[in-house]
Chain A
């Protein structure tokens, strides 16, 4: 239960909304607890412990949506919020040229709990701050490292979802992440190198398994090597991308265009639309036959694997791109029917009790191929190997992208030779994915994800995981950043 009397509040709200004549309503009651520890330049700069509780009521009245939410947790506040949600929905319906209809979903009654070995909120704070201080101290004791940062983050969401259709879902979800960065200065330039665990739904065992202190020497020395490295010479290069880097490339160039609300124009005023318009489904060659992009919201520990989405739809696994062909979208109960689907893919999520759920990118990942990383490198005469995240930007229909990275190595005659700096590559999404001619095998598969995916007005932060092995792309345009 997110907080005392949650069931009573839900019951009061839904009865009141049902009495208004609304055809559908749901309520989400949520208590989020988060702890963020941030270090900067050897010191612990802040430790924040946040309790965020509230409820949001969503109403569909004569085909028009209304949503109202409040952090005031009282039985007196519930009728005000419920009535406001109905009033807003009535207003929407009064201007509706088309009635919103929801595709069917079975009624679910379930409880979802994140399995974990070590609850991150039980770890003594001084153990966490000592870890961050030691890793920063180590890095800044290295020559030419002038700045450092390190952080740990954990969040627990206790949520109750109840709909007028009879679905009742309880959630107790965890997520954890940690990272650190070293910044080196040389010859008037500066450059950073980072280590980050993925954001995953697991316990503190993720941080313990990452072994920050074992990673720190590599990160510090690579920051120095990077700032001293030669700048890249602009040209066409073959690229071999690591899983962490690919997570961002997939997110921007595949994830967002596969959101059906974007393709239908819902985000036209902000996040943008999509070049993957509905008539392309089943016919458009998005990538080469090596490219299989699968949405999997059922894989344990991944961010979007929450059992059910905020429509109360069960999480699923489905194809987005199959052997290079675009075949599937991320959908919710509202937009699914607009492309003839009879069931939502369960990708409707809100970032808090105060936000209305919107279509979100699923856990979209690149399916493994059969190569090893050495195989991918061996067939490159002159290329660049890229790890991690750097600069990123993409147009509002997701055609023209540009990415940097965190670390770059020259590949010459099949071998990684030396680091480069200021590498930026750009291209057009389907041309880029059609240039993919090799994907590493399952042993190389790693999972990374995001909790800051911006979309919607008011803005919301989406959470999703993108898994991939290494992959190779031919003759990509590289410029100097």
Chain B
């Protein structure tokens, strides 16, 4: 295996260059307000299936977006071409749009210049990781599976992005963000096991541990029995729990809340979940994918969203916040669900406590069924097991669930400390594994 070849990576737009590009726009703009957003990213993914490389890609994409406003009339134009002429053309297009746009009654000027925290959003080892490093990790996972005579499918990816926002009122922020991901599905004939990781540092993907975990699940999934749909006690591993939490947190939109089209309508300040549960935003946490600022140029900061089960925060857009006298807009890009009181140290401890339960590794294709009460549906995937008298006794065929997290999270039987959780459909969060009672599985599939 060759060493990483960092010379092939082009240099991303740095702070000084972003200031130059922003000035090309800001100094020429005739609008009342002008905002420039930068997203310049270099990302590579090595993808494998059937224990061989099937896709191996590397893309550099830079995008500059210009938003202008005249008397509350707004226009936005973007370009991937960073030459001076193209950047100025984006400004001209944005101005043309704004001049003929209707006035937006919800328009607000860009935020005043802010003081931003500087979480560690970039790790040099990830920024330097190229195709050979990704291939090395893919080969490690494939090799482990071959030893067990199992098939591996998955990805190793790494990316580095320069992200920035600059406005005509002096607002400015720029930071570099790295991200590495690994996910693996191990196939043992008809059975599958899965594991995944995401981290700012490619050194923290724990390829070997996660590969062994996926292998173990695939092997345990071979002897499968079918259980009837119904209400079961469930042990949700962190990834499965994260699937439910993600939908709950996505639905905290303040405008929907104020207009009565939110499942949380009227619940602000009230107990909505088990009193042991607290949800915070922790952008500075080393194991989360926190950022220093939002695309609007607002600071990302620590915030409590649900405090001991009581709803404390909504996701405000700036207009709705102003309308309702909310001075500080909380963000939620680095969620951590923590528990008060005694907790188990690992999922294994939860298993030991259960007389009979269904252990769920992950959920798949979660979608809203009823937005009024946040009823969701989705499938169990890649490791669903029957637990009897404190141990896994067999795999079970995958279930479809039909359940509202607002109902089942009102009472938690037991839970662990929060741990890293990544799913294929959501971002990353810290979340405990949980034991929930009366969880509704509405049907069963053929495998």
Chain A contacts to B: CB under 8 angstroms: 41, 43-54, 56, 64-73, 77, 80-81, 83-85, 87-89, 91-92, 94-98, 124-126, 129, 133, 146-147, 183, 185, 188-190, 264-270, 272, 275, 354-356, 358, 391-397, 399-400, 402, 404, 422, 424, 426, 428, 457-458, 477, 479, 481
Residue of A nearest to B445 (CB): A400
How far is A24 from B60 in the complex, measured between Cα atoms in Å? 22
Q: Could you tell me how many residues of chain B have their Cβ less than 8 Å away from some Cβ of chain A? A: 85
Q: List 6 A-B contacts (CB under 8 A).
A: A43-B102, A56-B59, A70-B61, A88-B56, A91-B53, A394-B365
Known: A269-B184, A400-B400. A458 touches B58 (CB 8 A): no
Q: Please, which residues of chain B bring their CB within 8 A of the CB of A45?
A: 104, 106
Residue of A nearest to B131 (CB): A88
Residue of B nearest to A268 (CB): B153
Listed residue (B49, B78, B80) with the most chain A CB atoms within 10 angstroms of its CB? B80
How far is A269 from B195 in the complex, measured between Cα atoms in Å? 10
How far is A94 from B60 in the complex, measured between Cα atoms in Å? 24
* B90 close to A51 (CB less than 8 A): yes
Contact of B57 among A67, A80, A265, A397 (CB under 8 A): A67
Q: Please, which residues of chain B bring their CB within 8 A of the CB of A95?
A: 52-53, 135, 138-139, 142
How far is A394 from B364 in the complex, measured between Cα atoms in Å? 9
Q: Please, which residues of chain A bring their CB within 8 A of the CB of B101?
A: 44, 47, 125, 129
Known: A189-B372, A479-B402, A481-B369. A400 touches B443 (CB 8 A): yes
Q: Please, which residues of chain A bring their CB within 8 A of the CB of B443?
A: 400, 402, 426, 477
From residue B51, how far is it (CB to closest CB) to chain A in Å? Answer: 7
Which residues of B from 154 to 171 have beta carbons under 8 Å from A?
154-155, 157
Contact of A73 among B63, B81, B157, B424 (CB under 8 A): B81
Query: Chain B 335-374 against A: per-residue CB contact (8 Å), 1 yes, 0 no?
Result: 0000000000000000000000000000011111111100
How far is A319 from B81 in the complex, measured between Cα atoms in Å? 43
* B365 close to A393 (CB less than 8 A): yes
Q: Please, which residues of chain A bring their CB within 8 A of the CB of B381?
A: 395-396
Known: A84-B58, A125-B101, A393-B377. A400 touches B446 (CB 8 A): yes
From residue B149, how far is it (CB to closest CB) to chain A in Å? Answer: 14
* A65 close to B135 (CB less than 8 A): no
Q: Please, which residues of chain A bring their CB within 8 A of the CB of B114?
A: none
How far is A404 from B447 in the complex, measured between Cα atoms in Å? 24
From residue B324, how far is it (CB to closest CB) to chain A in Å? Answer: 16
* A458 close to B8 (CB less than 8 A): no
* B58 close to A53 (CB less than 8 A): no
Which segment, of B23-31, B69-77, B279-287, B325-333, faces chain A?
B69-77
Chain B contacts to A: CB under 8 angstroms: 5, 8, 10, 43, 45, 47, 49-63, 74-82, 86, 90, 93-94, 97, 100-102, 104-106, 131-132, 135, 138-139, 142, 151, 153-155, 157, 183-185, 187, 192, 194, 259-261, 364-372, 375, 377-379, 381, 398, 400, 402, 424, 442-447
* B444 close to A49 (CB less than 8 A): no
How far is A71 from B131 in the complex, measured between Cα atoms in Å? 19
Q: Please, which residues of chain A bring their CB within 8 A of the CB of B135?
A: 91-92, 94-95
* A51 close to B77 (CB less than 8 A): yes
Listed residue (B54, B106, B183, B371) with the most chain A CB atoms within 10 angstroms of its CB? B54
With contacts A46-B74, A400-B446, A458-B157 known, what are 5 further pairs, Cβ within 8 A? A87-B8, A264-B50, A358-B55, A391-B377, A393-B400
* B49 close to A269 (CB less than 8 A): yes
Known: A46-B74, A51-B90, A396-B379. A147 touches B62 (CB 8 A): no
Listed residue (B5, B58, B151, B187) with the most chain A CB atoms within 10 angstroms of its CB? B58
* A49 close to B94 (CB less than 8 A): yes
Known: A65-B53, A87-B131, A399-B445. A392 touches B261 (CB 8 A): no
Q: Please, which residues of chain B bring their CB within 8 A of the CB of A268?
A: 49, 151, 153, 185, 187, 192
Q: Please, which residues of chain B bring their CB within 8 A of the CB of A51?
A: 77-81, 86, 90, 93
Q: Please, which residues of chain A bring their CB within 8 A of the CB of B364?
A: 272, 395-396
How far is A479 from B403 in the complex, measured between Cα atoms in Å? 13
From residue B154, how far is it (CB to closest CB) to chain A in Å? Answer: 5
How far is A395 from B53 in the complex, measured between Cα atoms in Å? 25
Q: Please, which residues of chain A bring their CB within 8 A of the CB of B153?
A: 265-269
From residue B185, how far is it (CB to closest CB) to chain A in Å? Answer: 4
* A71 close to B8 (CB less than 8 A): no
* B76 close to A48 (CB less than 8 A): yes
From residue A393, how far is it (CB to closest CB) to chain B in Å? Answer: 4
Q: Please, which residues of chain B bring their CB within 8 A of the CB of A266?
A: 49-50, 54, 153
* B187 close to A68 (CB less than 8 A): no
Q: Please, which residues of chain A bring their CB within 8 A of the CB of B379?
A: 393-396, 400
How far is A266 from B154 in the complex, measured between Cα atoms in Å? 9
How far is A54 from B102 in the complex, measured between Cα atoms in Å? 33
How far is A87 from B183 in the complex, measured between Cα atoms in Å? 24
* B446 close to A397 (CB less than 8 A): yes
From residue B346, how far is it (CB to closest CB) to chain A in Å? Answer: 25
From residue B10, how far is it (CB to closest CB) to chain A in Å? Answer: 7
How far is A73 from B56 in the complex, measured between Cα atoms in Å? 22
From residue A190, how far is it (CB to closest CB) to chain B in Å? Answer: 5
How far is A113 from B174 in the complex, measured between Cα atoms in Å? 41
From residue B355, how far is it (CB to closest CB) to chain A in Å? Answer: 28
* B375 close to A71 (CB less than 8 A): no
Known: A64-B56, A72-B62. A479 touches B51 (CB 8 A): no
Q: Please, which residues of chain B bring their CB within 8 A of the CB of A41?
A: 259
Contact of B447 among A50, A54, A399 (CB under 8 A): A399
Q: Please, which residues of chain B bring their CB within 8 A of the CB of A270?
A: 155, 183, 424
Q: Please, which residues of chain B bring their CB within 8 A of the CB of A64?
A: 53, 56
Known: A83-B8, A183-B261, A393-B400. A428 touches B446 (CB 8 A): yes
From residue A128, how far is it (CB to closest CB) to chain B in Å? Answer: 10
How far is A125 from B63 in the complex, measured between Cα atoms in Å? 24
Contact of B45 among A46, A126, A399, A458 (CB under 8 A): A458
How far is A48 from B63 in the complex, measured between Cα atoms in Å? 13
Q: Please, which residues of chain A bring their CB within 8 A of the CB of B447?
A: 397, 399
How far is A356 from B45 in the complex, measured between Cα atoms in Å? 11
Q: Please, which residues of chain A bring their CB within 8 A of the CB of B10?
A: 70, 72, 77, 80
How far is A188 from B29 in the complex, measured between Cα atoms in Å? 47
How far is A354 from B74 in the complex, measured between Cα atoms in Å? 29
How far is A428 from B443 in the complex, measured between Cα atoms in Å? 10
Q: Please, which residues of chain A bring their CB within 8 A of the CB of B63?
A: 52, 71
* B260 close to A54 (CB less than 8 A): no
Residue of A nearest to B107 (CB): A43
Known: A268-B185, A393-B365, A481-B370. A49 touches B56 (CB 8 A): no
Known: A269-B155, A458-B157. A49 touches B97 (CB 8 A): yes
How far is A30 from B259 in the complex, measured between Cα atoms in Å? 42
Known: A95-B139, A354-B59, A395-B398. A48 touches B5 (CB 8 A): no
Q: Please, which residues of chain B bring their CB within 8 A of the CB of A391?
A: 367-369, 377
* A190 close to B56 (CB less than 8 A): no
From residue A234, how far is it (CB to closest CB) to chain B in Å? Answer: 10
Q: Please, which residues of chain B bring their CB within 8 A of the CB of A267?
A: 49, 153
Q: Please, which residues of chain B bring their CB within 8 A of the CB of A48?
A: 76-78
Known: A95-B142, A393-B379. A49 touches B5 (CB 8 A): no
* B106 close to A354 (CB less than 8 A): no
Known: A146-B260, A402-B400, A404-B369. A428 touches B78 (CB 8 A): no
Contact of B76 among A46, A52, A98, A397 (CB under 8 A): A46
